[in-house]
A and B are shown apart, each in its own frame.
Chain A
Amino acid sequence: MNRNRTWFVFGGVLLLLAMIVGTMIGPAGPTWWRIPLEFLNRLPFVQIDSGVSEQDWNIVWLIRTPRVVLAAIVGSMLSISGASYQGVFRNPLVDPYLLGVAAGAGLGATVVFAFQRGATENWIVDPLPLAAFIGALVAVLITYVVGTAFGATQSTTTLILAGVAVTSLATSIQAFILQRNTDVVRQVYSWILGRLSSATWGDVRLVLPYVLLSTGVLLMHRRLLDVLRVGDDEASALGINVRRVRLIVVLAATLGTSAVVAVSGLIGFVGIIVPHAVRLLAGASYRMVLPLSVLLGAAFLVFADIPSRVLANPAETPIGVVTAFFGAPFFLYLLRTRNTST
């Protein structure tokens, strides 16, 4: 138990460190070492003269900080949903991206853009995340049904291949819609490529309720995901309603994922790198994997966002490029060494 607590402290410290470093780096703004001091100064009852001007502070607080916070939210959501999908599908290679979630969400969003984005601006609930969710959900369900319909439900590769096919299908429909609505191409592509670079506090407020709900539901299921590791038959003989648990977990993970995809665009491989790193560090029990994935996933994406800011300075390297650069080789490594157990 003590060892477990150590890992949570480690994750928390790493996340804090990532967020501090994340706010210190950027093209404009105050000298890097002044920024943590100014943050301390802004805390109640603390007075430190950091020498940061009001204008510089605005750069930090209105441009960098929301970006860092959003990266943390997106990273934690992609990681915990990746781990949860791996649990319910009992497949170590599953990732929200590979299941077609991202492409489905992209298609849903494209539909909203194509059918008069302007007309929805005054709606009480923004239909964009909702459409992304529906697209993502349909994609996951198709992947799941097709991927498990043929013979053994245990076949890990069938599920992945089904995900590839669903992704291609969603992408092709999206391309068709875009061809018919060339006026929204720019909007859609800037959405797809991710908007961490233009993150605002509004984006944070938009996704936070979905992410909190989804993360909460997934964390509540962490003991049940451990029971599912012995397979559907044995889990149901142990008193679990397997279908219901699987449905709830898939819905929750898809809701959270599509919400973050709606603000950050398509970021691949986070949901596979982070949970597996956690398993290597702290063991495969979902009691550890889920909460630690939240912490380490957040830290990972905040760190990954740093090279995406500085590599091609002053231009931005899309963060999806950075995560895929690390993630794809890691995926190949898992393919080589995977065993059947998740």
Chain B
Amino acid sequence: MTALGFCDVRVSYDGTEAVQSFNDLLHSGEWLCLIGPNGAGKSSVLRAAAGLVPYSGSIAIDQKEIPATSVRWRAQHIAYVPQSPQIPLDMNVFDYVLLGRNPYVRHFSWESKHDRDVVGGVLDRLDLATFARRPLGTLSGGEVQRLVIARALAQEAPVLLLDEPTSALDIGHQQQALELVDSLRREQGLTIVSAMHDLTLAGMYADRLVLMHQGARVAEGTAKEVLQPTVLSEFYGVSARVHHEDDGTVVVIPQRTSAR
């Protein structure tokens, strides 16, 4: 069953096309990762799906096209984790995650007990319950990342968009964050689209990679199919070695080109 469909999605900024006719169909529970050099249009695809930039074409969830006018409907179906979330330092953890319930709260109304229960459940699931009353300013980078994911989960949306979810984290927290997303996907059948720069991690977690370059899709498939030295050199301009582990992991290692 198709959970998320892109049909001829185009995004332009001031007449320059940042995304050229993006088409894709994701089945429920699939993790698609967009890779590509800076400015390739990865973030623009995510931002279009989140309704943050105007686009032409259509994006559908469960075969229902997202209505252009309803930001609430979209927020009930798509949760978006930005690259660098804005963190109000003096807001506390519970209130921050509660913001994720906004799509379900009527405009001039208040969160219900059910909304608070959902937030409580999410905090428990992500081991954040003991932090509930702490102000965000006192959290570490890894905790903040978990918190932003918690807010997205509180949206109870079937689709989760992650823009560079790990770029600000150290290697340990990168692994934790991605493991968390992966386990949530398995538990709750979330459909995930992420944009990532770390090709090894992208290949490790995503079911499918799509390589973008100057707004166009130039390669797609499994990590093994996409992450090839010739492809990487053509589109990233990098000379890299690609190493295949026995368990199927594809490791991309950039090579030093100057003499050591």
Binding site for B on A (CB under 8 A): 220-221, 223-224, 226-227, 229-231, 233-234, 236-241, 279, 283-285, 339-342
Contacts and interface: CB of A to CB of B under 8 A. Distances in A.
Nearest to A224: B107
Interface in B119-159: 137, 155
Which 8 A/B pairs are nearest by Cβ-Cβ distance?
A239-B75, A239-B103, A231-B86, A237-B80, A239-B72, A229-B88, A341-B88, A238-B102
B105 A223 contact: yes
B102 A227 contact: yes
10 contacts: A223-B105, A230-B87, A231-B86, A233-B50, A237-B78, A239-B71, A241-B71, A279-B90, A285-B95, A341-B89
A234 B90 CA distance: 17
Contact of A283 (B74, B89, B90): B90
A239 B102 contact: yes
A237 B66 CA distance: 13
B103 A234 contact: no
Contacts of B95: 226, 285
Contacts, number: 71
Interface residues of B, number: 31
B85 A237 contact: no
A226 B99 contact: yes
B85 A240 contact: no
A237 B105 contact: no
Most-contacted residue by chain B among A224, A227, A237 (CB, 10 A): A237
Most-contacted residue by chain A among B82, B99, B110, B137 (CB, 10 A): B99
Interface in B32-63: 47, 50-52
Given A239-B72, A341-B90, 12 more contacts: A226-B91, A227-B102, A230-B86, A236-B71, A237-B80, A237-B82, A238-B99, A239-B103, A241-B71, A284-B90, A285-B91, A340-B89
B75 A233 contact: no
Contacts of A341: 87-91, 137
Interface string B88-110: 11110001000110110101101
B76 interface: yes
A220 to B, nearest CB: 5
Nearest to B105: A223
A234 B80 CA distance: 8
Contact of A240 (B78, B102, B110, B155): B102
A291 B100 CA distance: 24
A243 to B, nearest CB: 11
Contact of B88 (A230, A233, A239): A230
A31 B165 CA distance: 70
A240 B100 CA distance: 11
A229 B89 CA distance: 10
Contacts of A237: 50-52, 75, 78-80, 82
A275 B75 CA distance: 31
A226 B82 CA distance: 18
B82 A233 contact: yes
Most-contacted residue by chain A among B87, B88, B105, B110 (CB, 10 A): B88
Given A227-B102, A234-B85, A239 B90 contact: no
